[in-house]
Amino acid sequence: MDEDFDLSGVAPAGAFYTAPEGYRSGFASFVGRPNAGKSTLTNALVGQKIVITSSKPQTTRNVVRGIVHRDDAQLILVDTPGLHRPRTLLGERLNDLVRTTWAEVDVVAVCFPANEKIGPGDRFLVTELAKVRRTVRIAVATKTDLVTPEQLGQHLLDIAALGAETSTEWAEIVPVSAVSGDQVQLLADLLVGLLPEGPPLYPDGDLTDAPEEALAADLIREAALEGVRDELPHSIAVVVEEMGLREGRPADKPLLDIVANLYVERDSQKGIMIGHKGSRLRSVGTAARKQIEALLGTPVYLDLQVKIAKDWQRDPRQLRKLGF
């Protein structure tokens, strides 16, 4: 994450590919305060889990590109961390990453969960977004399956009012439910319609450009986040140290070896993460292994250790070591 989000190295997929007339390709970014449903929506549009989801805020820490392939377009979805008022150096770096992304993409879709009233966090985000001049903005009312039609109607009016209040012109205001699938296809059509014409930027079949090590680390962290509370979710980082197919295995029975370290900031947190006689760490490892196997389609042997990186969220050297 030391590098800025950069589109300059993205080249059209395939030197001799000719896109049909009217074909569109480009980048859209889902933004919103933490836990607004951005990652779930990305996964629903791509059709496969590529971004971790959790009820804990600040689950997403990396910009992950999910790729939607269509006959008429290629839509590249950029899933950013939730913008928030930072309390640590890590928080500041995540916010910088979000703002850089906004300026680089073709469309920014702001997510407002329908089951929560619009509040100061939303106003802060939309005000910040208004400072980015060129990018097209749409508003997405997420989690519509959790509210009544009357509540949704009021929510859409509140979104429109927030736009007027912050001098933000919404190109569209779209209600969706990623869980039920309601209007997800409509959202995809609207996003595609706002992209520039151009050839596909990634090969057909690619669902993300995130390296497999990063995807595996994210899935381990998602498993570790389940059931923890208070400050511990923010203190968890995962680094995949080694990843490769085990040598000497028959071709029809591959095994992927993954060696990963799960970092926390204090001794007490290490104890919580390991659990009584290692029970919690075992359950985290089992859950993560199943998710990685489902994503990569290969049996996995996961060697997971818990280590301490003292106060890593505030330490520039530790942040670099952990990939931020």
pLDDT by residue (tens digit) across 106-137?
999 999 999 999 999 899 889 888 888 778 99
Amino acid identity, position 182: D
Q: What is the pLDDT of residue 1?
A: 39
pLDDT by residue (tens digit) across 81-101?
656 565 666 666 666 777 777
Instruction: Examine residue 95 and state whether it is found in any structural domain, yes or no.
Output: yes
**172 in Cβ contact with 189 (< 8 Å):** no
Instruction: Examine residue 1 and state whether it is found in any structural domain, yes or no.
Output: no
User: What is the 3 state secondary structure string of 281-315?
Assistant: HHHHHHHHHHHHHHHHCCCEEEEEEEEECCCHHHC
Burial class (CB in 10 A: 0-12, 13-18, 19+), 21: exposed
Q: Are residues 181 and 308 in the same domain?
A: no
**229 in Cβ contact with 269 (< 8 Å):** no
Q: What is the pLDDT of residue 207?
A: 61
Q: What is the pLDDT of residue 229?
A: 58
Q: Are residues 149 and 55 in the same domain?
A: yes
Q: What is the pLDDT of residue 222?
A: 81
49: tokens are 């889990």
pTM for the structure as a whole: 0.58
**36 in Cβ contact with 87 (< 8 Å):** no
pLDDT by residue (tens digit) across 19-49?
688 999 999 988 887 778 887 888 888 876 5
Q: Are residues 100 and 156 in the same domain?
A: yes
Q: Are residues 50 and 138 in the same domain?
A: yes
Res. 187 pLDDT band, cuts 50 70 90: very high
Total number of domains constituting the chain: 2
Q: Are residues 59 and 132 in the same domain?
A: yes
Instruction: Examine residue 198 and state whether it is found in any structural domain, yes or no.
Output: no
Instruction: Examine residue 9 and state whether it is found in any structural domain, yes or no.
Output: no
Q: Give me the CATH number covering residue 307.
A: 3.30.300.20
Domain of 89?
24-193
Q: Are residues 60 and 188 in the same domain?
A: yes
- In this structure, the strands spanning 64-69 and 73-79 are antiparallel
Q: Are residues 146 and 221 in the same domain?
A: no
Mean pLDDT for 286-291 is 90
Nearest by Cα to 197 from 56, 19, 49: 19
The pLDDT > 70 percentage for the chain reads 77
Q: What is the pLDDT of residue 208?
A: 63
